[in-house]
Amino acid sequence: MTLLSNGWTDHGSFRHPTFIGWGTERTASDTWYRMGVAAGKNKPFDHPSWGGDEYVLDGGTHNFLRYLENWDGRTLHYEGSLVSLYYSEYATGVYKCCNSVYTPPNRDYKLDTEFLEPDKLPPGTPMFKDIVNLGFRQIFTAE
């Protein structure tokens, strides 16, 4: 899931599609989100001897939400729930840490406790039930 700040403009992204440095119009602003995210993540790769410590990781929980801007010193406030349901089919490249794609925000992530109560979940939330069959018996009485 890629989140864009309130400072994002399409114009700025078209003018500077690959460089996020200062003065490129890809500078983020403090932004607030309240939502649930159910998405996939990358499979971990085998660690090559020439790769850095985080090279083979999927980015971890702190990078489940992705960014495309220079967040230097700005804060992303997120309140919600993050669920990884599957391995990604399309976003399958290795994790590129830090300044090659974005500079990370100050992360203010919090669990929205309303996600803990089934009657307060948003419409369309997937519901799973787990039934464990421990045995059965047949009853031959008429009711």
Q: What percent of the chain has pLDDT over 90?
A: 19
Are 98 and 59 contacting, i.e. CB atoms less than 8 angstroms apart?
no
Per DSSP, the residues of 55-66 read TTS---GGGSSB
Instruction: List, for residues 61-95, the tens digit of each pLDDT value.
Output: 767 888 888 888 999 999 999 888 887 777 666 65
Average pLDDT over residues 112-127: 84
Could you state, in order of their start, the residue ranges of all structural domains in the chain? 10-120
Q: List residues bridging with 82 in a β-sheet.
A: 37
How do strand 106-111 and strand 31-41 relate by DSSP bridges?
unpaired
Average pLDDT over residues 42-60: 64
Q: Which has the minimum average pLDDT: 4-13, 55-64, 128-137? A: 55-64
8-state DSSP, 27: B
Average pLDDT over residues 1-14: 87
Instruction: List, for residues 108-117, the tens digit of each pLDDT value.
Output: 999 999 988 8
